[in-house]
Amino acid sequence: MKYDFSEIEKRQQKLWEEQKIFRLDDRNAKRPYYCLEMFPYPSGRIHMGHVRNYSIGDVIARYKKMQGFDVLHPMGWDAFGLPAENAAIKHGIHPAKWTYENIDYMRTQLKRMGLSYDWTREIATCDPKYYKWEQLFFIQMLEKGLVYRKKAKVNWCESCQTVLANEQVEEGLCWRCDSEVVERELDSWFFKITDYAEELLSGCEKLKGWPEKVLTMQRNWIGKSVGAEIDFKVKGKDKVIKVFTTRPDTLFGVTFMSISPEHPLAVELSRGTSQQEQVKAFIEKWKSALKSERYGQTEKEGVFTGSYAVHPLTGEEVPIFVANFVLMEYGTGAVMAVPAHDQRDFEFAKRFNLPIRIVIMPKDGQLHQEDMEEAWEGPGVLVNSAQFSGLDNEEAKIRIVELLEKEGKGQKKITYRLRDWGISRQRYWGAPIPIIHCEQCGPVPVPKEDLPVELPFDVEFDPSGRSPLPHLEAFWKTDCPRCGRPARRETDTMDTFVESSWYFARYICADDHTKALDRERVDRWLPVDQYVGGIEHAILHLLYSRFFTKALRDLGYLSADEPFDRLLTQGMVLKDGAKMSKSKGNVVDPDTMITRYGADTVRLFILFAAPPERDLEWSDRGVEGSHRFILRLWRLVTDNLDQLKPASFSGDELRSICAEQKNLRALRQKTHQTIKKVTEDIEERYHFNTAISAVMELVNQISSTLKDFQGSEEQGFWKVIREAIEAALLLLSPMIPHVTSELWQILGHKQLIAREPWPVSDPDAAKKEAVLVVIQVKGKVRGKIEVPVGSSKEEVLTLAQKEPNVSKYLEGKEIRKVIYVPDRLLNIVV
Partner RNA sequence: GCCGAAGUGGCGGAAUUGGUAGACGCGCUAGAUUCAGGAUCUAGUGGGAGUUAUUCCCGUGGGAGUUCGAAUCUCCCCUUCGGCACCA
681 contacts RNA (rule: CB under 7 A)? yes
Residues 6+ apart with CB under 8 A from 2: none
Identified binder of RNA from the candidate list 116, 255, 415, 733, rule CB under 7 A: 415
Cα-Cα-Cα-Cα dihedral sign, residues 620, 622, 623, 628: positive
776 contacts RNA (rule: CB under 7 A)? yes
Per CB under 7 A, which of residues 2..21 are in contact with RNA? 2
Cβ proximity of 788 and 770 under 8 Å: yes
Minimum CB distance to RNA, residue 170 (Å): 6
| Other beta carbons less than 10 A from residue 287's beta carbon | 10
624 contacts RNA (rule: CB under 7 A)? yes
User: Applying CB under 7 A, which part among 188-196, 507-515, 612-620, 650-658 lies near RNA?
Assistant: 612-620
CA nearest neighbour of 422 among 328, 489, 494: 494
543 beta partners: none
Minimum CB distance to RNA, residue 153 (Å): 14
Q: Determine the angle formed by the axes of helices 599-608 and 590-597, rounding to 10 degrees.
A: 110
User: Applying CB under 7 A, which part among 193-201, 320-328, 361-369, 726-734 lies near RNA?
Assistant: 320-328
For residues 687 and 722, which CB has a smaller minimum distance to RNA in the complex? Answer: 687
Per CB under 7 A, which of residues 252..271 are in contact with RNA? 260
End-to-end CA distance of the chain: 62
Identified binder of RNA from the candidate list 489, 627, 665, 670, rule CB under 7 A: 627
| Other beta carbons less than 10 A from residue 397's beta carbon | 22
Query: Which DSSP category does 392 fall into?
Result: B
105 contacts RNA (rule: CB under 7 A)? no
Identified binder of RNA from the candidate list 20, 27, 477, 614, rule CB under 7 A: 614
Identified binder of RNA from the candidate list 76, 312, 333, 533, rule CB under 7 A: 333
d(CA 87, CA 439): 36
Per CB under 7 A, which of residues 683..712 are in contact with RNA? 684-685, 687, 689-690, 692-693, 696-697, 700, 703-704, 707
631 contacts RNA (rule: CB under 7 A)? yes
Minimum CB distance to RNA, residue 611 (Å): 4
Cα-Cα-Cα-Cα dihedral sign, residues 275, 277, 282, 284: positive
CA nearest neighbour of 36 among 623, 506, 480, 445: 506
629 contacts RNA (rule: CB under 7 A)? yes
d(CA 68, CA 29): 11
715 contacts RNA (rule: CB under 7 A)? no
Identified binder of RNA from the candidate list 774, 787, 797, 810, rule CB under 7 A: 774
Strand stretches in 235-282, DSSP E: 240-245, 256-259
632 contacts RNA (rule: CB under 7 A)? yes
Identified binder of RNA from the candidate list 223, 355, 378, 484, rule CB under 7 A: 223
For the chain, the farthest-separated pair of C-alpha atoms sits apart, in whole angstroms, at 109
217 contacts RNA (rule: CB under 7 A)? yes
361 beta partners: 381
575 contacts RNA (rule: CB under 7 A)? no
Q: Determine the angle formed by the axes of helices 590-597 and 620-638, rounding to 10 degrees.
A: 30
For residues 590 and 783, which CB has a smaller minimum distance to RNA in the complex? Answer: 783
297 contacts RNA (rule: CB under 7 A)? yes
Identified binder of RNA from the candidate list 311, 677, 722, 738, rule CB under 7 A: 677
Minimum CB distance to RNA, residue 50 (Å): 19
784 contacts RNA (rule: CB under 7 A)? yes
Residues 6+ apart with CB under 8 A from 804: none
Interface map 135-174 toward RNA (x if CB under 7 A): -----------------------------------xx---
Minimum CB distance to RNA, residue 378 (Å): 13
Distances (CA, A) of 298 to 134, 294, 301: 43, 9, 9
For residues 72 and 538, which CB has a smaller minimum distance to RNA in the complex? Answer: 538
Residue 227's H or E segment, with its range, is strand 224-234
